[in-house]
Amino acid sequence: MIYLDHAATSNPKPASVVDAMTHFISQGCANPGRASHPLANDGARLIFETRERLLNFFGAEDSAQAIFTGNITESLNLALKGLLKAGDEVIVSSMEHNAMMRPLRQLEQDGITVTVIPCNSETGLIDIEDIAAAITPATKLIAINHGSNTFGTLQPIADIGRLCREQNRLFLVDTAQTAGCIPIDMTKTNIDFLAFTGHKGLLGPMGIGGLILNSRAQKAGLTPLISGGTGSNSELENQPDFLPDALESGTPNLPGIAGLNAGISWLEEQSVESVFQHEQQLTTQLLEGLNAIPGVKVFGPTAEMPRVGVVSLIIEGKDNGEVDEMLAYDHGIYCRTGLHCSPASHKTMGTFPDGTVRLSVGAFTTADDINRVLTVIEQIASH
């Protein structure tokens, strides 16, 4: 098997992730923050340690501002629906995932204005000047997908963050494709809300994600998506007003947090920068090889441009679904085809409604894997 679907979920996971989750499933099952016995205290310490690790990993201000969720979709919903009120405007790019666009389209029915900035049709990049020109007195939030899950486009979040701070607007970043793959510093890039998921570049399991917010975001106030038990202020029937409890209700996913903690720890040992360089080399190898195959058309930024390890292509005269089936069942190469839950980006790049074949590399992908994939795609394209 050659796994090139890391944009959906990373595979395999480091052995330490499996071990950490196994420990808390087999020996550490208890409810942290709800009791004072040793097992509950061990769980509480793990959660605190993971919050602290997230603080350092993303250059955040305060670990209490790291909110655990089930996935990045929930994180984005929490930020958008918890912040925006009737009359507010949010600016987004035309390269957003449905995890961003669907809650925003829902919020439009409640009086929220959604302004979409068209991106370059060849690279998917947004123009900072277009964002600046679109800001109005009603603009409360600028929300951007850092890395495209379909075309690999990497948006200039440092420049966008600087603009947001200059214009006193809040900045939300979707890091689904970049967290763990590219170094991200919330403070240096002026990110107010950082949404992440554990099961992709952070090499953790499915079912765990989070939203990190700084003091500016906290002052803006977020309404929780759900309310309920937190283990704190149990004498009150009102939701606590302090973080993280104000935005976290119910029993936490302790095995998931353990796996996330172990995944980030593995990345710290390897260094995110080394993972980034590894994936960049593989992506360059893949792009150069694909561009040399007659009948293959590649979309998105060139190898010389800032990008993540996601490559979209079509083979002329071939149905994407049939290509996917041949890759998977004839050659053991696992990828993904279609619109990738991002119709907006496909409309931007001119690949809607047929979509593309998407290949996405990961920390454990090798150069030999890429060579094998290129050989197979050349065979498919030549028949």
Residue 202 belongs to a domain with what CATH number?
Answer: 3.40.640.10
For residue 345, what is the domain's CATH number? 3.90.1150.10
219-253 CB burial, b ≥16 within 10 A, e <16: eeebebeeeeebbeeeeeeebbeebbbbbbbeebb
Q: Among residues 243, 270, 297, which one ends one of the domains? A: 270
Which residue from 275, 242, 302 is spatially nearest to 361, judged by alpha carbons? 275
- Block means of pLDDT (10 residues each) for the chain, 383 residues, are 98 98 90 87 94 95 87 98 98 98 98 98 98 98 98 98 98 98 97 98 98 94 93 90 93 96 98 97 98 98 94 97 97 97 97 97 98 98 92
Please tell me whether residues 264 and 278 are part of one structural domain: no
Count the Cβ atoms, other than its own, within 10 Å of residue 47: 22
User: What type of residue sits at position 285?
Assistant: Q
One DSSP character per residue, 254-269 reads HHHHHHHHHHHHHHHH
Same domain for 37 and 133, yes or no, is yes
Residue that terminates a domain, selected from 248, 270, 292: 270
101 and 221 inside one domain: yes
Q: Do 28 and 175 share a domain, yes or no? A: yes
User: Where among 218, 235, 270 does a domain terminate?
Assistant: 270
State whether 293 and 239 are in the same domain.
no
pTM value is 0.96
Q: What is the pLDDT of residue 383?
A: 85
Q: For residues 108 and 42, state if they share a domain.
A: yes
**Residues 162, 296 within the same domain:** no
Q: Give me the torsion for CA of 282, 283, 285, 287, rounded to 10°.
A: 160
d(CA 199, CA 175): 12
211, 198 contact by CB (below 8 A): no
Most distant CA atoms of the chain, gap in Å: 71
Q: Are both 81 and 202 inside the same structural domain?
A: yes
Domain that holds residue 340: 2-10+272-382
CB within 8 Å of 13: residues ≥ 6 apart = 203, 204, 205, 259, 263
- Tell me: do 227 and 336 sit in the same domain: no
Both 244 and 202 in a single domain?
yes
What is the structure's pLDDT at 327? 98
Give the amino acid at 70.
G
Domain count, the chain: 2
Residues 108 and 153 grouped into a single domain: yes
**Strand extents, DSSP E, the chain:** 2-3, 66-69, 89-93, 113-117, 139-145, 170-174, 193-197, 209-213, 296-299, 310-315, 333-334, 336-338, 356-360
What does the pLDDT read at residue 298? Answer: 98
